[in-house]
Structure formats: structure tokens, C-alpha cells
Structure 1
Amino acid sequence: MYDARQIANWFVNRAAQDRRTLSIMQLLKLVYISHGWHLEMRRSPLIMNKIEAWKYGPVIPDVYNAFRRQGVTPTAPVPALGPQVAPHDAHLLEQIYSGYGKLPAMTLSDLTHEPGGPWDTAIKNGGLFSPITDDLILPHYQQKRARA
């Protein structure tokens, strides 16, 4: 399990390899989507950080707070706790980046706002800033796999 900032750093560095930058919103959604697919495929969390339901979808406050100092479009990694991303996890992140990494921020936000999805359920049950727990995220990604 990783500090979500470490996963966000991976995406910042990966985008830089393509001479691209990602907005904070894109970073937040890519980390969240990676966590969801990791839960579905490996039955274990990718990140240890709290996820909350904010206006524009799931947000990892630790990632938001660490990167917002750089403005809307971060260009550099931030300090993160814990190990570097392992090769098998980097492979998953590469798949997420390939599939979702070029999508605009609002498209990624829309993807995380699905009716009946984790964000929607958290908002309905607890309002803005309520936690989005793994027991909401896992079945959602299992359903996505079943539909695919």
C-alpha cells in the first residue's frame, strides 16, 4: 500500500515523459481510478490515504494539499512517504495512464460521478466531504469489470 502522493508523483513523472502536464483534478482522478482498479484486480488497496466526496468527485485531501501549492497544473513531484512504486504496480499505473491519462479533467470527473457509484452514494449518505470507503469502491469496480 502506498502514500497516494507517491502514486500522484508517478503520474506527474509519466506525463513529463510525454512532455505533458496533468492538472490537479486529473491527478486526483487518476489516483482514485488506479485505486479502484487495484482493489478490483488484486483485492487490496493501492493507497492508504483517506478519499472524500468533494463537489467535482472523489478527492484525496493529502494529494490535493500537497500539489495545490504548485497551482492548477503541477510540474514537479512532492514529498511522499513509503516505498517507490513496485514494477507490478507501475504496470497497472501505465495501463491507467494509457486508458485515462489523456482525458480532460472534467471528463474524468464525470466518470467518477456515475449515478449509484461510490461518490454518488457517499454524497447521498453523508453529504460533501464524506468518506468514500473501499467497501463502496470495490463493488463499483467489480460491476465495471462485469459490464466490460
Structure 2
Amino acid sequence: MATVFDVARFITEKTGSMSAMKLQKLVYYSHAWHLVWDEEPLITNQFEAWANGPVVPALYNRHRGEFKVDADMFKDGSVQNLSKDEKATIKKVLDFYGDKSAHWLSNLTHQERPWLEARGGLPPGANSNAVISDAAIAEYYSSL
């Protein structure tokens, strides 16, 4: 199974540099749609329902303090660790979500059940490290 750094490397190699927040959301949507289409997780890392949307803490720790990220930040990631199906999923996600801004993607996650339910009614902007379960992600996105 791929690591979050393998996926981040693949995304940033395909798209070039982007904001760290946008990368987090593209990893999230890649994971979500892989759960639906291939019925298995893309990465083993769990997403947490942070104030600005779903975040993988390990990925955040890598880009902490940086606004922009690029492939050089993920030199330990390898696209060779991604299967053909995993790459296909990520490419489809990039085709659909890749031209959206980080703010737009964050707002979208704020309207979707997995993030909302994990936060349990916390006010906007409140800190949270509540886990967004793969089951909740798969159930919601498979219903779309």
C-alpha cells in the first residue's frame, strides 16, 4: 500500500507546486474515491477533521510552516509504489478537482457528511483532531 508521501509526490509531480492546503484536499479526495472505486484505502494514514477540512497529520508535519509544496518536499515518496489503479484514481481526481482553489476545496469538504459528522457540531474554526473514518468516507462518496 502506498504512503501519503508517495501520493503527495505523484500529485505534485503531475501538477507542480501548490498550496499545502490544496495538497491535503487532493490527497483526501484521492483516498475517498479510491475507497469507492477500488474498495480499499489508498493510504493507511487517517484523516482528521481539522478546522480547514480533512488533514493527514503526518503530511501536515512535513509541510508545517510552508505555504507552497512541491515534489522536492517528498523525495522519500515514490510513484513506483503506486499501482496502476491507484495512479488512475489520482489522475481522475486531479482532472476533476485539480483546477479548483484550496479555498474552494476546503469549503466543499465543509459541506460533506464525513467531515461534518467527525467534528460533531463544533463551531467553525474550532480545533479538532477527530478522525474521519474510512467507513464514513466510503459510505458518503459511494452515495454520490
Shorter-chain TM-score bucket reads: 0.7 to 0.9
Select the residue among 61, 68, 80 that pairs with 1:73.
Answer: 68
Other structure's SS at 1:35 match: helix
Q: Mind listing any 5+ residue stretches in structure 1 that lack a counterpart? A: none
Identify which of structures 1 and 2 has the higher relative contact order when contacts are C-alpha pairs closer than 8 Å and 6+ apart.
2
Instruction: Supply the AA of the counterpart residue of 1:137.
Output: I
RMSD over equivalenced CA pairs, Å? 2.0
Select the residue among 34, 37, 44 that pairs with 2:33.
Answer: 37
Question: Residue 137 of structure 2 corresponds to which residue in structure 1?
Answer: 137
TM-score (norm 1): 0.85
What's the CA shift for 1:82? 9.6
Instruction: Supply the AA of the counterpart residue of 1:4.
Output: V
Partner Cα distance (1:80, 1:130) in 2: 26
Select the residue among 85, 98, 106 that pairs with 1:101.
Answer: 98
Q: Mind listing any 5+ residue stretches in structure 2 that lack a counterpart? A: none
Other structure's SS at 1:112 match: helix
Question: Residue 58 of structure 2 corresponds to which residue in structure 1?
Answer: 62
The answer as to whether partners of 2:10 and 2:78 remain within 8 angstroms in 1 is: no
The answer as to whether partners of 1:36 and 1:137 remain within 8 angstroms in 2 is: yes
TM-score (norm 2): 0.87
CA deviation string 1:38-79 (max 9, x = no partner)? 11111111110121010011000111111235x110122422
Question: Residue 7 of structure 2 corresponds to which residue in structure 1?
Answer: 7
Other structure's SS at 2:8 match: helix
Instruction: Supply the AA of the counterpart residue of 1:43.
Output: E
Partner Cα distance (1:4, 1:135) in 2: 19
The answer to which structure has the higher strand fraction is 2
Residues matched between the structures, number: 138
> Hey, which bits of structure 1, 4+ residues long, moved more than 3 A?
80-83
Select the residue among 48, 61, 64 that pairs with 1:52.
Answer: 48
Partner Cα distance (1:82, 1:98) in 2: 18
